[in-house]
């Protein structure tokens, strides 16, 4: 699995999901249950993650703040 970096573009605490703008381009969905480091997701936070395409939709997993 290859790690990617990006910036949290948005986060909705009500449904616990958000979007990460990947450094390679495009937005990747995430759920806060996939965050492995301590801290709250916030717009502008720099993160490292792995892309998971095992479901129908591409999503970020193993997210950690950097």
Of the pLDDT bands very low, low, confident and very high (cuts 50, 70, 90), residue 10 is very high
Task: Look at residue 39 and tell me whether its pLDDT is greater than 80.
Answer: yes
pTM exceeds 0.75: yes
Dihedral over Cα of 17, 4, 63, 9: its sign: negative
Task: Look at residue 60 and tell me whether its pLDDT is greater than 90.
Answer: yes
Q: Which neighbouring-strand residues pair with 63?
A: 35
Q: What is the pLDDT of residue 31?
A: 96
Is residue 5 within 8 Å of 23, Cβ to Cβ?
yes
Averaged pLDDT score across all residues of the chain: 94
Of the pLDDT bands very low, low, confident and very high (cuts 50, 70, 90), residue 1 is confident
Domain 3-65: give its CATH superfamily: Nucleic acid-binding proteins (2.40.50.140)
Per-domain boundaries in the chain: 3-65
Give the three-state DSSP class for 15: coil
Q: What is the DSSP letter of 54?
A: S
């Amino acid at each position: 699995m290859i790690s990617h970096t990006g910036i949290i573009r948005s986060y909705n605490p009500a449904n616990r999901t958000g979007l990460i703008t990947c450094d390679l381009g495009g937005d990747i969905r995430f759920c806060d249950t996939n965050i492995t480091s301590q801290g709250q997701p916030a717009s502008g936070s720099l993160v490292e993650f792995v892309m998971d395409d095992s479901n129908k939709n591409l999503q970020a997993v193993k997210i950690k703040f950097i």
